[in-house]
Structure 1
Amino acid sequence: MRLLLVEDDTLLAQGLIISLKKEGYAVEHAPTLQNATQWVRNSQFDLVILDLGLPDGDGIEVLKKLNKKQHETAVLILTARDSLEDKIAGLDLGADDYLAKPFEPKELFARLRVIGRRFTNQANSKLSCKNVELDLASHQVLVANDVIILPRKEYMLLKALMENQGRVLSKSQLENKLYDWGEELGSNAIEVHIHHLRKKMPDGFIKTLRGIGYVVDKAN
């Protein structure tokens, strides 16, 4: 897999490049925001390891550039910024995982393997239930063959529910699916997103089991 490492710490970057190559990745290195932007503009990568605190700007700009290109690139943010707000900002803009420094290399490589497997398995896959279809490659949602535009959080909730058709997911399980870590969020965040998502789905598509969770029934 082709990987772009965006990291301004020279010693850390050198160590990671050696280790990543041993893991089988083809690695390019960008020490600045300008370098990273040039790489993203002119090339395509399977994975990006992204530091946010770059000497000439905020690494979040790289995520924005990737979003504009609209191609499938997995992004793992690797940064000293570990606040909940920074995590939410990164994930909302399309990052797939978030690992705070300092970190254990074994954990980084394990997370990269998980992300890589997920993207490989999902490249041409679709989820469908009744007259709702979710294309995991294009992130497109169709209801009765009509394209429905969903915000990222609603899309991730729908994906989690459709991946577990017939299985009830609790609020805490959906929080973990949505944000990809176990931080406590607003007490009614899931309820609000489900409320908005339900309006865009067919009647009765998402069922609420009070005090237990939410479920999408398997297609008959």
Structure 2
Amino acid sequence: MSPHPQSKKAKAAKAKRAKARTTQEPDKPASMHEARLERQIEQRRHQARKGRLRRIRNTALGVVALGVVAGGGWLAFRPDPELAGVARPSNRGGGHVAAADYDSPTPTSGAHDARAPRCGTYREPLNPAMAVHGLEHGAVVLWYDAARPELADELIDATDEWDTHVIISANTGIDRPVVATAWGRIKAYDAADPEITEFVRTYRQRGPERLTCDR
């Protein structure tokens, strides 16, 4: 049976309940404040993690971009390959003249004939002034001793993989079986050996004017 509302026991129970509410209610705002602080701290941690990841990503992208630029620069300015034993005579310039004069039977640069030769094989000596014009267009000229006509066929076989920018010509003024020339490059050989193929592969189409020259 419940105590009478006005009894001492009822009053004591009511006072106890009120005291309990008074004791608990101040803790509620404190708990809410702590929860808000924890959320703010977690948000700051999350933002910090995102910032670190963003910096790492940007650094990685920067390294990749730098590598691409450096690689592209290296490709753009990479020097052309050179072969051992290939001489590099002084560049005597270019230009067209009516009559050219050279100090070598196998010139590699200089003023030259206005007519450019067709690439191919010349069993009669090609005019050196026309040959230099061919060199200017990126052709390789392989001179062979006119006293050894069989060298022409050997040089044709050695260079049959190229349809353009190769000239093979007899020459009466050389003292070696074969003299290979390109613009600004020259090397003599004792036979139509495989090294001549490498000369053609390395120096073909490296003249100052890279124009068509079909064989």
Q: TM-score range by the shorter chain?
A: under 0.3
Rg bigger for which structure? 2
Whose strand proportion is higher, 1 or 2? 1
